[in-house]
Structure 1
Amino acid sequence: MASVPHIHDELAANPERVIVDTKYGSVTGGRAKNGTAAFLEVPYALPPGRFMDPEPLPLDYKYERKEYITEDTWAFQPRRDGQAAAGSYHVDQVGYGKPSENPLFVNIFVPPSFPSQKGFPVKVYLHGGFLQYSSPHRITYQNQFVAADRSEVWVNVGYRLSAFGFLACDEPKVNGNFGSKDQWVALQWVKENISAFGGNPDDVQLIGLSGGAHAVHQNLHHVSHLPESVKSPFHSAHLMSNAMVLTPKTRTEMRPQFQAFCRALHLDPTSSTILDDRAVPAETICRTIESKAAGPNNSTFRGCIDDDWLPSTTDTMTWQRSGAFAQALKQKGVRSVNVGDLTDEWYFYSTSSVIEKPADIVPNLERYYQDDIAEKIMGQYEALGDDATPEECARMFGRMTSDYQVHLPVRLLARDLHNAGFPVLRYEIRWTPEQNRTDGYVTHGTDTYLWHLRLPSLEPSQAEIARAWIRRVNEERIALERAGKPSRANNEVLALCEDKSIKWVEDDKWAEKMRLLVTLPGEV
Structure 2
Amino acid sequence: MPSIHLHDELSQTKARVVVETRFGPVTGGRSKNGAVVFLELPYALAPERFKNPVALPPEFRYRNREYIAENSYAVQPSNDGQAADMKFEDKVGLGKPTENPLFLNIVIPPSFPEKTDFAVKIYIHGGFLQFGSPHSLGSQAQYVAAERSEVWVNIGYRLSAFGFLACDKPKIEGNFGFKDQWLALDWIHENISAFGGNPENIQITGLSAGAHSVHQLLHHASRLPPGVKAPFTSAVLQSNAIATSPKTPEQLRPQFAALSRALGLDPDAVDTLSILRDPSKTRWKSITELIDSESLGAHGTFRGCLDGAWLSNSPDPMTWQRTGGLARGLLEHGVRNVIVGDLSEEWYLYSIAHPIKQKHDVQQNLERYYPTDMVQDMIKIYWSLPDDVKAEEYERLFGVILATGQVHLPVRLLHRDLLQENYPTFRYTIKWTPEQVRPKGKAMWTFRIPDLTTPQLDIVRSWLDAVDQATQELEHQHLKRRDLKEVLTLQVNKKIEWAVDVGWDDAMKIRKLLPGEV
Instruction: Return the TM-score normalized by structure 1.
Output: 0.96
Q: Whole-Å Cα distance in 2 between the matches of residues 407 and 181 of structure 1?
A: 26
* Conserved? CA contact 2:247–2:305, under 8 Å: yes
Output one character per residue of 1:163-182: Cα deviation in whole Å (capped at 9) or x when no partner.
00000000000000000000
Aligned to 1:62: 61
Aligned to 1:187: 185
Q: Whole-Å Cα distance in 2 between the matches of residues 89 and 276 of structure 1?
A: 32
AA at the equivalent of 1:483: Q
Aligned to 2:227: 229
Q: Is structure 2 residue 350 aligned with structure 1 residue 352?
A: no
Q: Whole-Å Cα distance in 1 between the matches of residues 388 and 156 of structure 2?
A: 44
Q: Is structure 2 residue 459 aligned with structure 1 residue 465?
A: yes
Q: 2:200 aligns with which of 177, 199, 202?
A: 202
Aligned to 2:236: 238
Q: Is structure 2 residue 284 aligned with structure 1 residue 285?
A: no
- Following TM superposition, by how much is the alpha carbon of 1:459 offset from its aligned partner in structure 2, in angstroms? 0.5
Output one character per residue of 1:111-146: Cα deviation in whole Å (capped at 9) or x when no partner.
000001100000010001011001000000000000
Aligned to 1:497: 491
1:205–1:454 Cα change, 3 Å: same
AA at the equivalent of 1:407: H
Aligned to 2:502: 508
* Conserved? CA contact 1:339–1:426, under 8 Å: yes
- Following TM superposition, by how much is the alpha carbon of 1:388 offset from its aligned partner in structure 2, in angstroms? 2.0
Aligned to 1:377: 378
Q: Whole-Å Cα distance in 1 between the matches of residues 427 and 146 of structure 2?
A: 26
Aligned to 1:167: 165
Report the more deviating stretch, 377-386 or 57-66.
377-386
* Conserved? CA contact 1:170–1:252, under 8 Å: yes
Instruction: Return the TM-score normalized by structure 2.
Output: 0.97
1:81–1:215 Cα change, 3 Å: closer
- Structure 2 stretches of 5 or more lacking a match? none
AA at the equivalent of 2:125: H
- Following TM superposition, by how much is the alpha carbon of 1:515 offset from its aligned partner in structure 2, in angstroms? 3.0
Q: Is structure 2 residue 482 aligned with structure 1 residue 481?
A: no
Q: Whole-Å Cα distance in 1 between the matches of residues 120 and 178 of structure 2?
A: 20
- Following TM superposition, by how much is the alpha carbon of 1:89 offset from its aligned partner in structure 2, in angstroms? 6.5
Q: Whole-Å Cα distance in 2 between the matches of residues 81 and 42 of structure 1?
A: 27
- Following TM superposition, by how much is the alpha carbon of 1:80 offset from its aligned partner in structure 2, in angstroms? 2.4
Give the SS at the match of 1:302.
coil
Aligned to 1:22: 21
Output one character per residue of 1:268-292: Cα deviation in whole Å (capped at 9) or x when no partner.
2132211111111011110001112
Q: Whole-Å Cα distance in 2 between the matches of residues 367 and 83 of structure 1?
A: 16
AA at the equivalent of 2:472: I
AA at the equivalent of 2:202: V
Q: Whole-Å Cα distance in 2 between the matches of residues 284 and 291 of structure 1?
A: 11
* Conserved? CA contact 1:495–1:504, under 8 Å: yes
- Following TM superposition, by how much is the alpha carbon of 1:83 offset from its aligned partner in structure 2, in angstroms? 9.2
Q: 1:117 aligns with which of 103, 115, 118?
A: 115
Output one character per residue of 1:201-252: Cα deviation in whole Å (capped at 9) or x when no partner.
0000000000000000000000011000210111100000000000111100
Q: Whole-Å Cα distance in 2 between the matches of residues 324 and 409 of structure 1?
A: 17
* Conserved? CA contact 1:346–1:398, under 8 Å: yes
- Following TM superposition, by how much is the alpha carbon of 1:510 offset from its aligned partner in structure 2, in angstroms? 1.0
Identity %: 52
Q: Whole-Å Cα distance in 2 between the matches of residues 220 and 82 of structure 1?
A: 29
Q: 1:448 aligns with which of 442, 448, 451?
A: 442
* Conserved? CA contact 2:381–2:509, under 8 Å: no
- Following TM superposition, by how much is the alpha carbon of 1:386 offset from its aligned partner in structure 2, in angstroms? 2.3
* Conserved? CA contact 2:82–2:350, under 8 Å: no
AA at the equivalent of 2:11: A
Aligned to 1:440: none
Aligned to 1:400: 401
Q: How does 1:9-158 map to 2 (within 5 A)?
A: 9-81=8-80, 90-158=88-156
Q: Whole-Å Cα distance in 1 between the matches of residues 53 and 39 of structure 2?
A: 20
Q: Whole-Å Cα distance in 1 between the matches of residues 175 and 478 of structure 2?
A: 32
Q: Whole-Å Cα distance in 2 between the matches of residues 487 and 26 of structure 1?
A: 47
Output one character per residue of 1:357-402: Cα deviation in whole Å (capped at 9) or x when no partner.
0011111001111122111211211243321210110010001000
Q: Whole-Å Cα distance in 1 between the matches of residues 467 and 410 of structure 2?
A: 20
1:242–1:292 Cα change, 3 Å: same
- Following TM superposition, by how much is the alpha carbon of 1:485 offset from its aligned partner in structure 2, in angstroms? 7.7
- Structure 1 stretches of 5 or more lacking a match? 438-442
1:486–1:355 Cα change, 3 Å: farther
- Following TM superposition, by how much is the alpha carbon of 1:85 offset from its aligned partner in structure 2, in angstroms? 9.7
Q: Whole-Å Cα distance in 2 between the matches of residues 314 and 168 of structure 1?
A: 21
Q: Whole-Å Cα distance in 2 between the matches of residues 157 and 81 of structure 1?
A: 20
* Conserved? CA contact 1:108–1:156, under 8 Å: yes
- Following TM superposition, by how much is the alpha carbon of 1:197 offset from its aligned partner in structure 2, in angstroms? 0.2
Q: How does 1:233-382 map to 2 (within 5 A)?
A: 233-270=231-268, 271-272=272-273, 273-295=275-297, 297-382=298-383
Output one character per residue of 1:293-316: Cα deviation in whole Å (capped at 9) or x when no partner.
122x11110001112210122111
AA at the equivalent of 1:398: G
1:146–1:193 Cα change, 3 Å: same
Q: Whole-Å Cα distance in 1 between the matches of residues 110 and 81 of structure 2?
A: 40
| Number of equivalences | 514
- Following TM superposition, by how much is the alpha carbon of 1:82 offset from its aligned partner in structure 2, in angstroms? 5.4
1:168–1:434 Cα change, 3 Å: same
Report the more deviating stretch, 34-43 or 381-390.
381-390
Structure 1 runs, 4 residues or longer, greater than 3 Å off: 81-86
Q: Whole-Å Cα distance in 2 between the matches of residues 372 and 359 of structure 1?
A: 15
Q: Whole-Å Cα distance in 2 between the matches of residues 109 and 469 of structure 1?
A: 22
